[in-house]
Structure 1
Amino acid sequence: DQEGRIVFSNPASHRIWDGVGIEELGQYRGWRAETGEPIAPDQWPAVRAVRHGETTLNQLVRIQGSDGSEKTLLNSALPIRRADGEILGAIVLNQDVTEREASDAALRQSQEDLQHSRQLDAVGQLAGGIAHDFNNLLTGVLSYCDLLLQELGPGDPLRSDIEQIRHAGKRAAMLTRQLLAFSRRQILQPKVLSLNSVVEGLEPMLRRLLGTGVSLAVELDPALAPVMADPGQLEQVMVNLVVNARDAMPQGGQVTISTANRELDIAQAGGIPAGAYAVLTVRDTGVGMPPSTRARVFEPFFTTKEPGKGTGLGLSSVYGIVEQSGGRITVESAPGEGATFTIYLRRHAGPEGAQAKKEQRKVLPLGTETILLVEDETAVRNSARRLLERHGYTVLEARHGMDALRLLEESGRNVDLVLTDVVMPEMDGRELVQRLRAERPEHKVIYMSGYTEQAITSGGVLPPRTAFLEKPFTVDQLMRLVREVLDE
């Protein structure tokens, strides 16, 4: 009526407003749903209709009652007038659309997640292709550097120049490795492990990375469930996240690393299915991110740092590693409120495996076995052959799979190891190995490639008696892996 008192209300309206009149509307906090703008007590549609004769149709508002509960309403108010125009009261219509709005918001978020995922996949395919070609070039550069360094004496004036070339090649290789991580084309060596063990093993190094201005707090759940993941890749994830956190706190602050078990009854935003997870969280007290930055934070080459201060590949490689490991990663942040990165990995039903430590010999191992080398890039094939022969091995070389089969048939020789590229003309490395193992299943194989998607089988895991050598490789990596596979 004219006094703002409720003359009649149906049960649904009473449930929404608890039967309050316009004088009591101040006990409710309200916002315009589209803009988030607060609604002042004298701006509610019912008040404007009774006091000013204004009509409001289908205004979407959010309200918070005295008990803290929130609702989303479709709010309309129409004034009731006498024939002479005097306002007698108002008709106020409220429809509770809380569930509908939540469903619509979830659908919009799902659509945005799908679009973002497709964009990242497209960029990942491009990045993986670039990394493949670039890694072939770098393999030749690094291998020939190793050959030259073995020829030169310690005091040769050319030695420092070649070492500079080799150092630049290794830096370029690190960039391509990050591209491959983002594009989810790495070979994984998953083990049953505890995230707690990974954190504890890295903690001393992480404290050194953070320096004196940033403190590190570690909060580990002692009952944390194990996961199946590649420990080396998880270490890279943690290092990248902690370095990102450090850079977000130029004036100092705190990084908190925590672990927990988490059960999700329903799917969550970010494409996280329902299920049981072990969760790793890295939280900082840094400058935070606006929504526009947060939406692009996992894109390769996207960075807010000054030129020369970052490649924009750190967080994109984190995203790729987590996704390839079957997990999900989310980020929460706002300007001035720091950032929280949360990684969800499926729990594994089984005990944590023991981490074997390998002894690295300072002197590169030698051998006398026969190796079949299959590689279509001439520079890579020639340099790899010379490195292997220099360390005592007999090498049979072929340009592709068909060439290798002809060579073995014509020579009648047995080989102790097959060292083959993956992507080659006429017959690729996988088909070659399948044919060789059809006759001799115990064949030992090392795949080498700069584009690992072609080498992987299920989930990026290699079959038995098979190893993977990522291009570009050094003489040290090549010789140690060859010896390791032969000695198995």
Structure 2
Amino acid sequence: MSEDRSKATSIDDSRFRLLIDAVIDYAIYMIDPDGIITSWNAGARRFKGYEEAEILGQHFSRFYTEEDRRAGMPQRALNTAITEGRFEGEGWRVRKDGTHFWCHVVIDPIIDPSGTLLGFAKITRDLTDRKMAEETLKQSEQQFRLLVQSVTDYAIYMLAPDGRLTNWNLGAQRIKGYLPAEVIGQHFSMFYTPEDREAGEPQRTLSIAIRDGRFENKGWRVRKDGTRFLAHVVVDPIWGDTGTLLGFAKITRDITEVTQAQQVLEQTREALFQAQKMQAIGQLTGGIAHDFNNLLTVILGNLEIVRKRLGDDPRITRLVDNATQGAMRGVSLTQRMLAFARRQELKAEPVEIPTLVQGISGLLRSSLGPSVVLETHFSPELEPVLADINQLELAVLNLATNARDAMPHGGKMVISARTVEVCDQLQFTPMSGRYVCLSISDTGEGMDEATLALAMDPFFTTKGVGKGTGLGLSMVHGFIEQLGGRFILKSQIDKGTTAELWIPVATTGSVAMPATEEDTATTVPRLCVLVVDDDSLVLTSTSLLLEDLGHRVVSAVSGAMALKAIEVEPAIDLVITDMAMPQMNGAQLAQAIRTLKPDLPIILATGYAERLEGFAMELPRLSKPYTQLNLVEIIASTMK
């Protein structure tokens, strides 16, 4: 019986040895109480590199690194196994070829029933691949942490599921002004404005991120110092492998400067578009006004002659006078169109703004009525401006009338002026130098943005059909631009409107050019007048007016014909030429005539103000439409 039991035990030991030796992923071997290796399996041979014959009888400490041996690690492991019944740990070990591997080690003491230590069972597992993966992951995490921490243009931080901050990068510190210790653990709603917190915006942000997988928006946020900045915010939820919400990743970028720059760019584009639009409309309007002036010259000239030759029939006289009044309305309309197009004839002179306003104050008060209070405020150091006094009076009256119409139930209008040194730009066009800002403000109904954008367009009006031409503001705009200034209109609904006329200051030494009354009774001898105009109707009308005055007229429809007429007609005493003609304009014709006959007087007739150069600037100008009286006056002044 004892022999059978012995055989069975021997068979079990043999099977156990075969099992241990078959394991190749673990080094399983025995060491005696002194640490000498007494067995060696296939797994130990595979990743430690020693054959059984090479290692049996050797001390197990040879697998430790030199540093660990000097530190007494092998004996400490055995002592721990004895005192605690087990040793378990991880560390670097050394293969036969000298390479290191990371392993997990378990040492169990083997004690017989009597309590005698027989040795130790040692199991070692090679975890080098796992260790390398952990090191790589750790390095990657460190690099990512360094990357996030190094970003200064973005606030990048994490939130717990309840919205409390768990970390804080340098970008967040720079943009929001808080140190990590001041915000970690706090709820991220501290960065929101009081209005947004009251409206539940922080919680809505997290709810949307959870529901949609992402939240992105722009909004105002608050820095530590209380200032606000416009932020672009992205919030992403972070989910665990089991679907548990771990928290949120939040990225915030300060876009205040970018947004402001974009707004400035849009405003500049809009101003450029407006300037280009006004320039195009101005060119069209100026051209139309020029053609209208030619027609009105013909109509008024012929009506004037007809009126002089009529009998005493009052019915016909009334018809002619009515036609003349209608034509004069056309003259007023074309003058307004030319003012908008910046092509009206201006007589620039130094003008004292307080004196000008005082001079028309009676007219202003009577126009405004008793329900509108008029106030004036002028700086004592106010400098004179360089302007056409009549046109400036008309502009102020026009703006005052608009202010009155905007206050149907009464209100207050304030006219003020101050001198300003301008060194930047107003609206789109650059300005520099000294200007007087003449301001007309009212407390009326005001305009919305859409109406304000169209207010200076010609023929635009809010007064209804038949109650305004829509040329008032456009006329003021063109007039001020022609002076080299700017017209700026500001308005808000129910807060009123302010019109600012920025007019250049009159330079020192400017010579005033007050209007003078010409002596219309001056006797002018009969002359031979050469009339040049490419419009046959104007040419005929002007010729008839001159002949009615007793002058002899020679006609020409072009500059070339006029030069030929001068060559064949030596008795010509005076030339009246249209300025705007094809091929050879009036200034070029005058230059050619000056070469042939330097002393021959020349008058330039024009439908709008044109830029002249050289001696042509000194020639007398006859503005269309003109009457017979205008011809008498300019001929008298030219021939004296």
Superposition TM-score, scaled by structure 2 size: 0.66
Deviations 1:155-186 (A, max 9, x none): 74321111000000111121122222222222
> Given the alignment, which residue of 461, 467, 480 partners 1:309?
467
Give a deviation string over 1:38-81, Cα, whole Å, max 9, x none.
x4534444773289856765522245789885532223334556
Aligned partners of 2:348 and 2:513 also within 8 Å: no
Match of 1:319 among 477, 483, 486: 477
Cα deviation digits, residues 228-250 of structure 1 (max 9, x gap): 33333322322222222222222
The answer as to 2:330 corresponding to 1:172 is yes
In structure 1, C-alpha distance between the alignment counterparts of 2:444 and 2:224, rounded to whole Å: 34
Distance 1:373 1:89 in 2: 92
CA distance in 2, matches of 1:345, 1:52: 57
Q: In structure 2, which of residues 381, 391, 395 is the aligned counterpart of residue 223 of structure 1? A: 381
The match for 1:374 is: 532
Q: What amino acid maps onto 1:457 in structure 2?
A: L
Larger relative contact order (CA 8 Å, sep ≥ 6): 1
Q: CA deviation at 1:14?
A: 4.6
1:476 aligns with 2:476: no
Please identify, of 193-202 and 110-119, the stretch whose mean Cα deviation from structure 2 is larger: 193-202
Structure 1 segment 34-433 matched on structure 2, within 5 A: 39=196, 41-45=198-202, 48-49=205-206, 53=210, 57-62=215-220, 70-79=228-237, 90-152=248-310, 156-351=314-509, 353-354=511-512, 356-359=514-517, 365-368=522-525, 370=527, 371-415=529-573, 417-425=574-582, 427-433=584-590
SS state of the match for residue 571, structure 2? coil
Q: Is the 8 A contact 2:189 2:202 kept in 1?
A: no
Distance 1:350 1:463 in 2: 26
Counterpart residue type for residue 305 of structure 2: L
How far apart in 2 are the matches of 1:444 and 1:28? 80
Q: TM-score with structure 1 length normalisation?
A: 0.84
> Aligned partners of 2:224 and 2:500: how far apart in 1?
33
> Partner letter of residue 236 of structure 1?
L
Q: Determine the structure 1 residue equivalent to 2:612.
A: 457
Amino acid at match of 2:386: M
Contact kept, 8 Å, 1:367 with 1:393, in 2: the verdict is no
The 3-state SS of whatever aligns with 2:251 is: strand
Amino acid at match of 1:471: K
Tell me which residue corresponds to 2:52.
Answer: none
3-state SS of 2:360 partner: helix
In structure 2, the CA distance between the partners of 1:202 and 1:439, relative to structure 1 (3 Å rule), is farther
Give matches, 1:5-24, under 5 Å: 6-10=165-169, 13-14=172-173, 16-19=175-178, 22=188, 24=190
CA RMSD of aligned residues (A): 3.3
* Distance 1:148-1:60 versus aligned 2 partners, 3 A rule: same
Q: What amino acid is aligned across from residue 639 of structure 2 in structure 1?
A: L
After alignment, is 52-61 or 426-435 more displaced?
Answer: 52-61
Residue 84 of structure 1, CA deviation: 6.3
Q: Which residue of 1 aligns with 2:603?
A: 446
Larger Rg: 2
1:106-165 deviation digits (Å, cap 9, x = unpaired): 111111112222222222222222222222121111111111222346774321111000
Aligned partner of 2:593 among 436, 439, 443 = 436
**How far apart, in 2, do the equivalents of 1:322 and 1:364 lie?**
36
SS at match of 2:454: coil
Distance 1:215 1:16, change over 3 A: farther
Q: Which residue of 2 aligns with 1:33?
A: none
| Conserved 8 A contact 1:50-1:89 | no
Give CA deviations for 1:360-389 in whole Å, capped at 9, x if unaligned: 66x655411633322233333333233334
Partners in 2 of 1:118 and 1:401 — Cα distance? 34
Contact 2:352 2:384 in 1 (8 A): yes
- Once residues 215 and 171 of structure 1 are traced to their aligned partners in structure 2, the CA distance between those partners, rounded to angstroms, is 32
> In the alignment, is the contact (CA less than 8 A) between 2:208 and 2:215 conserved in 1?
no
1:285-334 CA-to-partner distances (Å, cap 9, x unmatched) read: 11111111111111111111211001111111122222222222222112
- Alpha-carbon distance change, 172 to 98 in structure 1, aligned in 2, over 3 angstroms: same
CA distance in 2, matches of 1:297, 1:78: 48
Matched letter for residue 399 of structure 1: V
**Residue 481 of structure 1: SS of its match in structure 2?**
helix
What code does the residue aligned with 1:246 have? Answer: R
Question: Structure 1 CA distance, aligned partners of 2:581 and 2:214?
Answer: 70
Call closer, same or farther: CA 1:170–1:61 in 2, change over 3 Å.
same
SS of 1:298 mapped into structure 2 = coil
- Where do 5+ consecutive residues of structure 1 fail to align? 30-38
1:336-355 superposed Cα distances (whole Å, 9 cap, x missing partner): 12111222234443256445
Deviates more, 1:319-328 or 1:286-295: 319-328
How many percent of aligned residue pairs carry the same amino acid?
32
Please say if residues 255 and 283 of structure 1, whose CA atoms lie closer than 8 Å, have aligned partners that are also in contact. Answer: yes
Tell me how far 1:408 sits from its aligned partner. 1.8
Q: Structure 2: which 5+ residue stretches go unaligned? A: 1-159
Structure 1 counterpart of 2:351, one-letter code = L
1:26 positional shift: 6.5
Letter in 1 for 2:635: V
Q: Matches of 2:454 and 2:317 in 1, distance apart? A: 43
**Preserved CA contact (<8 Å) 2:192 2:221:** no
How many residue pairs are counted as aligned between the two chains? 472
